[in-house]
Amino acid sequence: MLSESLEARSTSKLGEHHANLVKNLKYRVTKAQACHDQQLLALLAYEQAQLEDQENQENQKEGSSDSDQQKAIWTQLKQALTKRSQLSVERIVDAKGNVWWHVQDPRSGKTFNAESLNVAMHWIEENHLGQ
């Protein structure tokens, strides 16, 4: 009975913490949009995906065993590390409706902004990225 009460309280606190993280993230996205900071917006989009993954895992935990939970955590960790090391090409539409492409290679630290996908792809090939 006591352990159920503690678990319920813990779950409630975890829910509050997650809600605060989401609220803070929305605030930071609004500020980044106001400053037209596309690089920060890309990072915040990654953070949002992580929060959504975390929420999905919490929802799945309710009906799964400890072993299943551990497997899910390891799978998520592997996916996060893989995403972090992969070349990313993102289509960006700014506040004025202009479309451009943001390329980021976490391995080399190189980033590039292009007016078209063809220019972005050429830059990737020229710099031998994503191989």
Contact 44, 32 (CB under 8 A): yes
Number of domains comprising the chain: 2
Same domain, yes or no: 45 and 99: no
Same domain, yes or no: 90 and 62: no
Same domain, yes or no: 28 and 66: yes
Bridge pairing between strands 99-105 and 88-93? antiparallel
Quote the pLDDT of residue 131: 63
Q: Model's pTM, two decimal places?
A: 0.41
Same domain, yes or no: 109 and 78: no
Same domain, yes or no: 40 and 100: no
Contact 113, 94 (CB under 8 A): no
8-61 confidence digits (pLDDT tens): 555 667 778 778 888 888 888 888 788 877 787 788 788 888 878 777 777 666
115-127 confidence digits (pLDDT tens): 999 999 999 899 8
Same domain, yes or no: 32 and 91: no
